[in-house]
A and B are shown apart, each in its own frame.
Chain A
Amino acid sequence: MSNLDIFGAILGFALTLMVFSYLIGDNPLFRVAIHIFIGVTAGFVCIIVINNVLLPRMIVPLISGSMEERLLAIIPMLLGWLLLTKISPRLATFGNIPVAFLVGVAAAVAIGGAVLGTLFPQINATIAIFDLTTSRGFDTNKGLQLVNGIIILVGTVTTLAYFHFGTGPQQANPTGLQSLLRGFNQVGQVFIAITFGFLFAGVYSAAMVALVERLSFIVDFLKSVLLPLLST
């Protein structure tokens, strides 16, 4: 193990303990560790953007690229300069051009993808569950497939009904439609609660793996670095 590895291990050990110190409450050690992480991340992202984006995609084509590459590099450079005018209140109007371009492209890509990639396929999939002639891999039991489809259909409808707020305030004698929607709401709440519970279990699982990894690192550090240093 080189000296650099030992230094890195000591630094990691110290930062890990500083983050764990949050168990006793907010304290300067925890804040220092968080600020170090944020600063290092910001600096690293800046270097990545310069080395991985600006230099190879704009500077190099402008200097040593063909005429086509130079023309193509001028456009993002101009848009980038216009974006910098947002700093000045007087010139901020010019910055609206690249902002409009960014927002427009992002919205078009996101909406198009959501409609064609999620909405229509998922609706189609919900309908296709009841197509018992379609093979679904390992799930060959048609009865289970039908029950699964019914559960998914009920869950989808009642969850959507839960987000319907048109029933108005509680009334002593609700109409038939209001009673139906309230029943759907209650069933939808059950599905939403199950979903949130599942999500929480996933979050806890991910956090537990992170805890195990850090504690393993601490134990390994104590075994391989600290104990030999103390023994000598």
Chain B
Amino acid sequence: MAEINCPLCGKANPDDFEVCQYCQARLKPLLAPDSAEENSLPQDETGVEEPTSPAAAEIPEWLQELRQDEDSLELEPERSSDELAADISEATGDAGSIPTGTPDWIYEVEQETQRDFDHIEPPPPSPAEPGPEPAALPDWLESIRLGLHGTPGLASSQATEPVESTGPLAGLRGVLAADALISRSRGPATRPAKLRVSANQLVHIDLLRELVESEGKSQPLPQKPSISSEHILRWGIALAVCLAVVWSIIFPGQPAALPAFQEETAELNRLIEQLPDGGQVLVAFDYEPGEFAELDAAASAVIDHLMIQGAYLTLVSTTPLGPVLAERFIEELQPVHHYTAGVQYVNLGYIPGGTASLVMLTGNMPRALPYTIEGLAAWGSESQPVLPPLQGIQNVGDYDLVMVLVDDPDVARAWVEQVEPFISSSSPQGSLGMVISAQLEPIIRPYYDANPRQIHGFVAGLRGGASYARLNGREELVRSYWDSFGVGLFMAVLLMLVAGLMYSTYPLLTRPSKSDSEVKG
């Protein structure tokens, strides 16, 4: 069965349908062309086919009335271009001049077109084919045509426009094809892909591109001079200090006097002097290897004094490297005092836990530190008695003296805060002494100056150790360091003075003189 597409919706319908079964649009023209009458249909000069007369029964009444009105109109003969131009001139009221509002070039084109039309004579009508008489248009319609096309010649372009053959608009020219519009696929509206970028934005784009590209590239570092004035100054200071110290070591001159004792040093000395025979002392080695030179020099006279007094020593440490430093320290003094491990002293090793570990010392020390550094049961077993340094000891309050060798202010403060209150409350003769680095003295001194004292005596740095050694007549323990130390300090003070003088006088020397400024002025 043949099908016919709907001109409106484009869907297929059987060819015997009059209207579309989907959109109810008419599929066939109301006036079906009769093959017999088709050849006799009048055609106008533009070739437009006159619509065929539909059957009277199929034509609506309004359309029949409209056709009767058209038939009653008398067609006027088509006017020539001269007549039209004359009408235009009359309408503008300025014959021979450029119409108002019309650009010059349009007027010139119109004039040339007019001249071309003047040379062309209209062809004579063919006698064989007389053709229909031109339709007479009303004046208002003719004026609209002139207004739309501008020139009479453009009217000929209508001949190329198709004539609608089907549907309610059948017979009209220039009707837009509905089916073509509907069936045409509509893609997304195209936009111009090229952005409008200003010159300033282009500059910024280039700058951003350079920045992004430079991120992945290694930039060469600026070349620094291999030897600068800073290097020379550093080497000069180091050379001066080192040469002075080495000179004092190689060629020791007249030994310098050791410093006089201070109050805190004398207090510590008094505490050790008052230790009973076989007194028990807890010694904590809480410093790092980098500070061993100062701490060993400062503490050697103090520990030596303890050994002279015959005190039993218990060595502990809250730092992992402390037990080794303690063994090394005792070994240094071993040739003089012959202290034996497990007899006169015991090394209980490392106390894990930091500050919290100090609280364990105030509790049950046998549980907190059950073994020596050699792995022996420090507090006795079935086959071994309690080691002498630990006899009668259950907590830190049982010691006659607690001595802390420390270089860290936090660790020193932890000992004061955690252990000292327990010592003071549990034992009236118990004391806390310290051997500290010189840099800790401003921090530790307030605990000594407090009332009641929280630290009962301390030795600060090499100077404190030297004064303590002088107090006990053991100057040889610190003599090797003290003289060179004094030379080094003297050199440092000298360098500071020289640098200060240069810093203060250099601007004066480089300032332009008054005569120079007057000459320049």
Q: Which residues of A contact B (CB under 8 A)?
A: 23-25, 41, 44-45, 48-49, 51-53, 56-57, 105-106, 109-110, 113-114, 116-118, 121-122, 124-125, 128-129, 131, 134, 136-139, 195, 198-199, 201-206, 208-216, 219
Contacts and interface: CB of A to CB of B under 8 A. Distances in A.
A15 B112 CA distance: 108
A80 B412 CA distance: 29
A116 B234 CA distance: 47
Contact of A208 (B320, B371, B407, B488): B488
Contact of A215 (B242, B263, B370): B242
Contact of B421 (A56, A116, A208): A116
B417 A137 contact: no
17 contacts: A25-B231, A45-B321, A52-B323, A52-B352, A106-B356, A113-B414, A121-B454, A124-B450, A139-B263, A201-B438, A202-B439, A203-B439, A206-B407, A210-B291, A212-B245, A216-B480, A219-B246
B489 interface: yes
A141 B414 CA distance: 33
B350 interface: yes
Given A23-B238, A48-B323, A202-B437, A117 B416 contact: yes
A153 to B, nearest CB: 13
A226 to B, nearest CB: 14
A175 to B, nearest CB: 34
Contacts of A122: 446, 450
Contacts of A49: 320, 350, 352
Contacts of A216: 249, 480-481, 484
A74 to B, nearest CB: 16
B291 A206 contact: yes
A204 B237 CA distance: 14
A48 B317 CA distance: 12
Q: Which of B250, B294, B440 has the most CB of A within 10 A?
A: B294
Nearest to A108: B356
Contacts of A199: 439, 442
B196 to A, nearest CB: 48
Given A206-B438, A210-B294, A106 B354 contact: yes
Q: Interface size for chain B: under 10, 10 to 19, 20 to 34, or 35 or more residues?
A: 35 or more
Contact of B439 (A56, A121, A206): A206
A138 to B, nearest CB: 5
Given A202-B438, A210-B293, 4 more contacts: A44-B321, A205-B439, A206-B294, A216-B249
A25 to B, nearest CB: 7
B411 interface: no
B373 A52 contact: yes
B463 A211 contact: no
Contacts of B489: 205, 208
A210 B245 CA distance: 12
Given A41-B321, A52-B350, A209-B461, A215 B246 contact: yes
Interface string B251-287: 0000000000001001100000000000000000000
Contacts of A56: 370-371, 375
Contacts of A134: 451
B441 interface: yes
Contacts of A201: 438
B250 A219 contact: yes
B454 A117 contact: yes
A205 B242 CA distance: 15
A109 B353 CA distance: 11
Interface string B299-328: 000000000000000000000110110000
A25 B115 CA distance: 100
A110 B355 contact: yes
Which residue, of B238, B356, B451, B480, has the highest number of chain A Cβ atoms within 10 A?
Answer: B451
Contacts of B352: 49, 52-53
Interface string B368-410: 0011010100000000000000000000000000000001000
A60 to B, nearest CB: 9
A8 B496 CA distance: 37
A48 B235 CA distance: 40
